[in-house]
Amino acid sequence: MLRERYYIGLLNALYTLKDTVEHMQAWYMEPGSEHRDGDINQSEGYVKLRSSAWKSFSDIKELHGPAELVVSGNAVIALKEFYSIHWEASEFSACNAEWIDKVHKGVKEAHKIVLREAKNDLVPDIT
C-alpha cells in the first residue's frame, strides 16, 4: 500500500534523526562543552553522527513531496513546522549545542505527530 510505504519511510527517517540527535547531545553533556565546538566537530564519532543526521534529514525531504499525496494533512503540517524549526536553528543558533537542542525538540514533535497520524490512517479501529 502506497500510504503505508510513505508513512514507514517518514517514520524511519524521523526516528533515525531523533536518535542521532540524541546521541549528538551526549557530546555536549559536560558543562562548558558548548564552548568547544571546534574540538567536538572534528572528532570522528561526531562527524559520523552529523553525517547520519544529514542523511536522515535529506531522506525526510525526499519523501515529503510524494508523501503529500497519501499522508494526512496533519502529518504534512508537522513536517513543514519541523523544517521551519530546523532552518531557524541552522541560521540563528549560537553554538552546536543550541542547534541540537532545537532540532531535537522539533524532530521529536514531528515524529510524535506523524506516528499518531499513521496509527489513525493505517491501524484499523478495533472496538
pLDDT in tens, 37-78: 566 667 788 889 989 999 999 999 999 999 999 999 999 999
Specify the CATH architecture of the domain 2-27+39-122. Up-down Bundle (1.20)
If one compares 117 and 35, the residue with the highest pLDDT of the two is: 117
Q: Which of 62, 60, 112, 125 is nearest to 86 (CA)?
A: 60
Distances (CA, A) of 55 to 32, 83, 99, 105, 120: 29, 15, 17, 18, 28
- Tens digit of each residue's pLDDT (9 = 90 or more) over 73-127: 999 999 999 999 999 999 998 888 899 999 999 999 999 999 999 999 998 765 4
- Structural contact between residues 57 and 111, judged by C-beta atoms closer than 8 angstroms: no
pLDDT of amino acid 38? 60
Q: What is the pLDDT of residue 93?
A: 87
Q: Assess whether pLDDT exceeds 60 at residue 34.
A: no
| Alpha-carbon radius of gyration of the chain | 16
